[in-house]
């Protein structure tokens, strides 16, 4: 096996694949990276048995030669050293040769490394998912949906199902939902002509965070492919396979209040900055609690009080306040996370009383919804 490859392409592929490689793998060979050369190009694979990432570098693309002098073959290399070696090589191209007894020679310019490889036959085969259960969507939209929900997953392993994002596709509508039982984030979008439906698919938040980092912001699409216990995300040069979480995701639709007693329309950034300032003194307290009080038809007061530190008080002029007067306390962190995910200049906040969950939606778009439970303060 041998090939000559452009160094920068190899670096990018290695960095992507490394995100799936664990320092303490379940199976020893998974501490390595699988490298396969074919006449079509080079495929790198990393896996920790929860997620598997495959990155493909085509030998030729858009008239550019990326890989040449290819002699097909397959090897597993220790992932601990390989990325650093590739990154620090002196020239723009890298020569890669596998010799007897799995000795791998990596050279660039006058620099030459020899690494001990492993037989790739011991490396587990990644399952191939069938296209019958798949649909496609634009990558920028997909990344947005992850960003607007994944922050609300639970970090507590006591209820493992809540550490994932529930993905549902029904009647050509795709819904992402995340909750840690104190807040909820939901984002919907239409998927035209989807031939497939599913509802209890829960993808680990960790998997989606890693996928979000790797996916290129190009205007291409991602193909999403679901089976009983795994989900595959595939683009032109990348395959990302994740296990799904076992169990039934809770029915979250009943958490969303049907009525409202108070409605505030406010500038997103202004409210975010005000709560950010108020939280400066709330950090030491439980939940970073801040209090919101409505005054008349256009003033909202944001306060925070920490007995050992001091207090903060700020008034903000909002667009409108409708309905009953309100005093409510909530976690400043949860509120800031929700507002940061909005991406719209104006939001509407609907309250149904001081001890009931409240809902935040963009003024012009009801496809994004954030729900937060208030904090009881005495």
Percent residues over pLDDT 70 in the chain = 97
At 134, the pLDDT band (50, 70, 90 cuts) reads confident
At 24, the pLDDT band (50, 70, 90 cuts) reads confident
Q: Considering only the top CATH level, what class is 257-372? A: alpha beta
In the predicted structure, residue 186 carries a pLDDT above the cut 80 = yes
Identify the CATH homologous superfamily for domain 2-122.
Answer: DNA Polymerase III, subunit A, domain 2 (3.10.150.10)
For range 165-188, the mean pLDDT = 96
Domain locations in the chain?
Answer: 2-122, 131-253, 257-372
pTM attached to this predicted model: 0.92
Domain 2-122 and domain 257-372 have a common topology: no
At 129, the pLDDT band (50, 70, 90 cuts) reads low
Q: Say which CATH topology domain 131-253 has.
A: DNA Polymerase III; Chain A, domain 2 (3.10.150)
Note the pLDDT of residue 194: 78
- Alpha-carbon gap, residue 185 to 369, rounded angstroms: 6
For range 234-238, the mean pLDDT = 91
3-state secondary structure 199-265: EEEEEEHHHHHHHHHHCCCCCCEEEEEECCCEEEEECCCEEEEEECCCCCCCCCHHHCCCCCCEEEE
**Picking from 1-10, 175-184, 277-286, 325-334, which range would have the lowest pLDDT averaged per residue?**
277-286
In the predicted structure, residue 378 carries a pLDDT above the cut 60 = no
For range 80-98, the mean pLDDT = 95
């Amino acid at each position: 096996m041998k090939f000559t490859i452009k160094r920068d392409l190899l670096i990018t592929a290695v960095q992507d694949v490394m995100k799936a490689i664990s320092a303490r793998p379940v199976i020893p060979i998974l501490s390595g990276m699988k490298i396969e050369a074919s006449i079509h190009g080079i495929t790198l694979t990393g896996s920790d048995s929860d997620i598997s990432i495959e990155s493909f570098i085509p030998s030729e693309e858009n008239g550019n030669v990326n890989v040449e002098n290819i002699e097909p073959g397959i090897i597993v290399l220790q992932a601990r050293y390989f990325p650093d070696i590739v990154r620090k090589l002196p020239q723009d191209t890298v020569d890669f040769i596998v010799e007897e007894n799995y000795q791998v020679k990596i050279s660039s310019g006058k620099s030459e490394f020899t690494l001990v490889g492993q037989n790739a036959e011991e490396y587990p085969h990644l399952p191939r998912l069938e296209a019958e259960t798949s649909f496609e969507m634009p990558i920028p939209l997909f990344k947005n949906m992850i960003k607007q929900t994944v922050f609300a997953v639970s970090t507590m392993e006591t209820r493992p199902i809540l550490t994932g994002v529930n993905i549902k596709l029904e009647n050509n509508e795709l819904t992402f939902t995340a909750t840690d039982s104190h807040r909820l984030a939901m984002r919907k979008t239409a998927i035209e002509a989807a031939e497939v439906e599913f509802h209890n698919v829960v993808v680990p938040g960790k998997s989606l965070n890693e996928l979000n980092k790797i996916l290129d912001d190009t205007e291409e699409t991602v193909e999403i492919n679901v089976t009983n216990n795994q989900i595959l995300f595939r683009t032109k040069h990348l395959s990302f396979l994740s296990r799904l979480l076992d169990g039934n995701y809770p029915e979250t639709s009943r958490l969303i209040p049907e009525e409202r007693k108070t409605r505030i329309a406010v500038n997103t950034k202004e409210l975010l900055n005000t709560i950010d300032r108020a939280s400066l003194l709330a950090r030491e307290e439980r939940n970073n609690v801040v209090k919101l009080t409505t005054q008349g038809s256009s003033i909202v007061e944001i306060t925070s009080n920490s007995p050992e530190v001091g207090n903060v008080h700020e008034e903000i002029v909002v667009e409108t306040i409708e309905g009953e007067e309100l005093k409510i306390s909530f976690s400043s962190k949860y509120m800031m996370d929700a507002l940061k995910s909005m991406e719209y200049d104006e939001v509407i906040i609907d309250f149904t009383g001081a001890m009931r969950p409240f809902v935040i939606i963009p003024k012009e778009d009801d496809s994004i919804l954030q729900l937060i439970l208030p904090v009881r303060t005495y």
